[in-house]
Amino acid sequence: MNLQETKAKLEKYNQSQLLKYYDELDENQRQSLLKQIDEIDFDLLKLIEDGGKETEKGVITPLDDAVSIADIEANKDKYTAIGTEAIKEGKVAALLLAGGMGTRLGSDKPKGMYNIGLTRDVYIFEMLIKNLMDVVNQTGAWVPLYIMTSEKNNDDTVKFFEEMNYFGYDKNYVDFFVQEMAPAASFDGKIFLEDKDRISTSPNGNGGWFISFVKAGLCEKAKKAGVEYINIFAVDNVCQRMADPCFVGAMIDGGYRSAAKVVSKATPEEKVGVLCLEDGKPSIVEYYELTEDMRYQTKADGELAYKYGVILNYLFNIEDLEKNMNNNLSVHVVKKKIAHIDENCNAVKPETENGFKFETLVLDMVHMMDNCLAYEVVREKEFAPIKNKTGVDSVESARELLKLNGVTL
């Protein structure tokens, strides 16, 4: 778009403030700003006008499609053989959601670059690659690995992997791609400027991975290579196993279209999303969406009815993802602290929430699937989230679990 077209578009959406400093910019900065404006999905702002209300949930019921730790142990050889065959045939890929920064850990680097070692260097990325290498060694086949970064951390992430020689992984099986961004806006719907020539944006949530994956040409590349299943996992769980042959085999053997690694809730009140059914289809209900009755509801065997907590480790069928790509994911309007420049061009770093970000969530993709297998894992072996520096779900707690699993830090 040229300047006049941009002005007309901004007037239509009442966002003319984005060109406030246009006359002060050099030509390159001007073209960059116009391009950024052209890429904004202004329809997102209507969600603010609607009060940012979430879509109401349907009828929630417990999920019965599950294999418990005991079930898995009883069928381990069968599941592992099926999964190993799929991996050897090149049908399984892994996709790491790594767009986050280590801000809450006190770092200005990508979260995966955080060093959790005590007596030696041990990086989050390193632990994840080590876990994937276990699968390579077990099956004798390399697993294609796709790493989704963000605009803010892509260069640092790629450079880090190159410097670390991909932690021993074959770089020919690794592809990086950058997540789509969404604008950040004030409570009254005005899009912020981060600088005179830069719009304030943030990654569009972990549910945006597939659209970004397609736009980067990697979906087509994966299909041409014969990939049928993609295991999505988050950067902050250092104990998790991805492209796990037993997990893959359980989903294939059961004829499921998707699967999720889950842990049994430690207590009814544990703050974790729960895999369940919504209007008969698989869904994830956040802990605050469960009523007190649902939290404490039990089945005939005395187990919690809503017991399976998700750990952001999902196995999807590429064919199903493509079918559902045109069914728009719900966009969640989330209150956040957003850095920006004010009307006097002063940098503002708010201490409290001052606006909205727009996010899609991978959990909403689960609801698009026909079914989903809950695959229970041992919490102490596969769930060591790093959300904070100290306390619950922290660097400290993850270190203890890694030590418990024989990792020298």
Per-residue pLDDT reduced to its tens digit, 63-112: 999 999 999 999 999 999 999 999 999 999 999 999 999 989 999 999 99
CB proximity list for 104: less than 8 A, separation 6 or greater = 387, 388, 389
Measured from the Cβ of residue 248, the count of other Cβ atoms closer than 10 Å reads: 26
Overall average pLDDT of the 177-184 stretch = 94
157 has pLDDT over 60: yes
56: confidence class by pLDDT, cuts 50, 70, 90: confident
Q: How confident is the model at residue 52 (pLDDT cuts 50, 70, 90)?
A: low
pLDDT per position as a tens digit, 3-13: 999 999 999 99
CB 252 within 8 A of CB 87: no
How high is the pLDDT of residue 299? 92
| 232 pLDDT more than 90 | yes
pLDDT of res. 273 = 94
Q: Residues with Cβ < 8 Å from 136, sequence gap 6 or more?
A: 142, 143, 169
Q: How far is CA 58 from CA 223, 268, 273, 276, in A?
A: 34, 22, 16, 12
pLDDT at residue 122 above 80? yes
Q: Work out the average pLDDT over 340-352.
A: 93
Q: What is the distance between the alpha carbons of residues 408 and 380, in angstroms, rounded to a whole number?
A: 16
Query: In this structure, what are the phi and psi dihedrals at residue 62, rounded to the nearest 5 degrees?
Result: -65, 155
Please list, in sequence order, all residues whose beta carbon lies within 8 angstroms of the beta carbon of residue 36, skipping any fewer than 6 positions away.
198, 199, 201
Q: Check pLDDT > 90 for residue 129.
A: yes
Mean pLDDT for 184-212 is 93
pLDDT at 340 over 70: yes
pLDDT digits (tens, 9 = 90+) for 264-322: 999 999 999 999 999 999 999 998 889 999 999 999 999 999 999 999 999 999 999 99
- Give the pLDDT band (50/70/90) at residue 363: confident
- pLDDT confidence tier of residue 388, bands split at 50, 70 and 90: very high
| Mean pLDDT (whole number) for 187-200 | 96
The predicted structure's pLDDT at residue 54 = 63
Query: pTM (2 decimals)?
Result: 0.92
Q: Assess whether pLDDT exceeds 90 at residue 50.
A: no
2: which 2 tokens? 């040229």
Q: Which domains does the chain have, with CATH numbers?
A: 57-404 (3.90.550.10)
* Distance between CA atoms of residues 246 and 84, nearest Å: 8
Q: What is the pLDDT of residue 53?
A: 62
